[in-house]
Structure 1
């Protein structure tokens, strides 16, 4: 079997050489020698054959690719001195070849010749001042020598020119910063919106954040659509506090709607359902419930929320919802003003506080029944868990029968959440 493979390989070699010879005859004797040399140089790299590399130099001693192939084979065999010598021979024949200088720098770096490697990479950088690869190689070399400041200046320069390198820079910066957010901020220096966004997504996915990247995602430089994407990603990564900050940066901060833990508890600034959940999210897919903003019946301000029940909407389904940032393991009180001239059902609506991660009910109000057309304050307490956010929602209580119809109007206004200690001092 071994003899058969050898025979097949020889046939392939003969066929390949024959093709090159035919090409060479067409272009003349010098072209013939160059073609044969190129063939053997390429074959040497593919096959790892030293003999092929020697033949490349034999046919054309002045072919830099012949020396380059010999250098690659020597480097594979850890003969770094021979690899360096062959590369220097190749460079003497083609001194402006950036790739050869990069190869030389890599060989010298492997051999422990840091100064020689830097000199080779710097030459490559001088020959190609706008290319990112020589700069990147220099940055990596300085980082291996623990010259972090210089390293990240170069690595950021390379990545800002060619963003495909930025994931590598972020990973290296994370490791080099050793958990120090200040150092991480110093090491990461994105210049464009694209690289800043790459940095933001990386930091969020790894549970990290820096001051400069946070300033970017809160700024007007980032479009609202991209911010909404970040809000979703931050929520998925359970960074609720920053998610709400980013969401608030898309709102009109000139109003007082963001004051307090609940956003727009009086429905003064709400105009539509907010899918992020940091504003009021309405369930508009229930045909048996109509949700509107009421400008005539209000407890305070100019609007309240009106819900008209006229059928059998699903019990337990959140018809109104907002995520509220809280402190962990802390007691709170929820207050809501309700008004209902009539409410007929075995499963009336009620306000509920839940842990959004586990779905655990932390507290709930009494059923919201008819108030004879008067405004009534309803309060209930809950204690937050370890999750720094709670879901405040309105849903129907469970019914003993199914279907379970409900009929009546319910107005809500001035919803608030306060810490128990704060509320007791008022």
Structure 2
């Protein structure tokens, strides 16, 4: 082969080799272009799909928003038409069915209300409030079984909430199923003590005032419950039971003690009232009688005192009463009573309840000082039997002098009746023959004491 022929052959071979890479790159470029187009199409498709989902979500939100708007408007205005529209817009929304059921119930359309409540609980079966409302709606149509079933489910869902149990207990109570009813009510009261007065009242009616049966059901293990029972017993004339319940208390506030004492005094239970006031058996101190409390006025005389101890005139601007350290028969103080105008003559300016025994003779001693008393009804000290429905006068002093030279000691003797438990010692004025009947002047009192005469 000549040199020229070899050159041509080599050159042709090189051209053939150079053609093959060119064809491979063109195919790759085409593939890449096709893939890029496909990716672009997928991105567009995904974008469109996102837009569709986004629009669907917006539409759903708009529907829910308008549904809630119609629901709340319908509930607020008690109109069924907006609520019906809300239910139609969002049939799967339990809130829409629930609100419509409440409006229908208030309107007296109980059958439709029950259907809506049932639809609501089917969509939200874990909502104890919806089950409770369904139970109450069944109760309003006298469907005891339906009411008990729905409220039992409400209790199961919210075992520590008071209202489901209380409502279930009420339905069982009206059905005469007292044992079941009171068991549910007691557990409700354990979680909400505000229900305790109603619970006590229901047991009182169910057991016709049988306090033993009541306490077996109520089981008052807390001081709060015992105190509530004591007040209830006192208000309903069960005074010995009230006193017994007070004695079982671990603690008793001053205000509650005062309230119970006042209730017992109103019921003429003087010894029981004194027992509660002094702490009774729980304090370990027996009642000492008869005696004056603060008879020498060494302790402050309080306007707030409403039981034993000195009671002073209220709402009487013409009478001023205060401790006086400048005048005293003994000790450091006396009590000064000053009249300065018109006041009811028969209203005591000062009084105290004294416990006594029946058919006993007593003497009361005290010291008096007066200054410039002017009135058509002069002051007197009086003792009356307050055990019965009407006070019975036992003894009264002569009118106190208009002026005394220093202190004068007095004594009053009286005999109690066969049923006398307490007497009332009072400072008041004699009856006036004219009206108005003002009084002016001062009286000082000190050293009251009472003794039994053998």
TM-score (norm 2): 0.62
Which of 367, 380, 384 lines up with 1:353 in the alignment? 384
Aligned-pair CA distance for 1:252: 9.8
- The 2-side partners of 1:311 and 1:70 are apart by 71
Q: Are 1:380 and 2:414 counterparts?
A: yes
Rg larger in structure: 2
Q: What is the DSSP-based 3-state SS (H/G/I as helix, E as strand, rest coil) of the residue aligned with 1:335? A: strand
| CA deviation profile, 1:236-277 (whole Å, cap 9, x unmatched) | 565544322211217996666x334x1369979x96658345
Matches within 5 A, 1:141-290: 141-189=171-219, 192-208=222-238, 211=241, 214-216=244-246, 219-236=249-266, 239-249=269-279, 258-260=287-289, 262-263=290-291, 275-279=305-309, 285=322, 287=324, 290=327
Flag the 1:87–1:41 CA change in 2: closer, same or farther, 3 A.
same
- The 2-side partners of 1:310 and 1:132 are apart by 55
Q: Are 1:364 and 2:398 counterparts?
A: no
- The 1-side partners of 2:109 and 2:152 are apart by 24
Q: What is the DSSP-based 3-state SS (H/G/I as helix, E as strand, rest coil) of the residue aligned with 1:390? A: strand
Q: Contact 1:365/1:379 (CA < 8 Å) preserved in 2?
A: no
- The 2-side partners of 1:168 and 1:35 are apart by 42
Q: Are 1:415 and 2:445 counterparts?
A: no
- The 1-side partners of 2:105 and 2:241 are apart by 44
Matches within 5 A, 1:381-400: 381-383=415-417, 389-393=422-426
Q: Are 1:64 and 2:65 counterparts?
A: no
Q: What is aligned with 1:36?
A: 66
Q: Are 1:85 and 2:115 counterparts?
A: yes
Aligned-pair CA distance for 1:53: 3.4
Report the aligned-residue RMSD: 5.2
Q: What is the DSSP-based 3-state SS (H/G/I as helix, E as strand, rest coil) of the residue aligned with 1:28? A: helix
Q: What is aligned with 2:48?
A: none
Aligned-pair CA distance for 1:28: 1.1
Q: What is the DSSP-based 3-state SS (H/G/I as helix, E as strand, rest coil) of the residue aligned with 1:68? A: helix
Q: Contact 1:241/1:325 (CA < 8 Å) preserved in 2?
A: yes
Q: What is the DSSP-based 3-state SS (H/G/I as helix, E as strand, rest coil) of the residue aligned with 1:285? A: strand
- The 2-side partners of 1:254 and 1:197 are apart by 20
Flag the 1:308–1:237 CA change in 2: closer, same or farther, 3 A.
closer
Which of 125, 129, 134 lines up with 2:155 in the alignment? 125
| CA deviation profile, 1:8-30 (whole Å, cap 9, x unmatched) | xxxxxxxxxxxxxxxx9997111
Q: Are 1:106 and 2:106 counterparts?
A: no
Q: Are 1:95 and 2:128 counterparts?
A: no
Q: Contact 1:356/1:390 (CA < 8 Å) preserved in 2?
A: yes
| CA deviation profile, 1:121-170 (whole Å, cap 9, x unmatched) | 12111211221111111110111111223322322322332233233323
Query: Which ranges in structure 1 are unaligned for 5 or more consecutive residues?
Result: 1-23, 295-304, 417-422
Matches within 5 A, 1:321-360: 321-325=351-355, 332-336=360-364, 352-353=383-384, 355=386
Aligned-pair CA distance for 1:222: 0.8
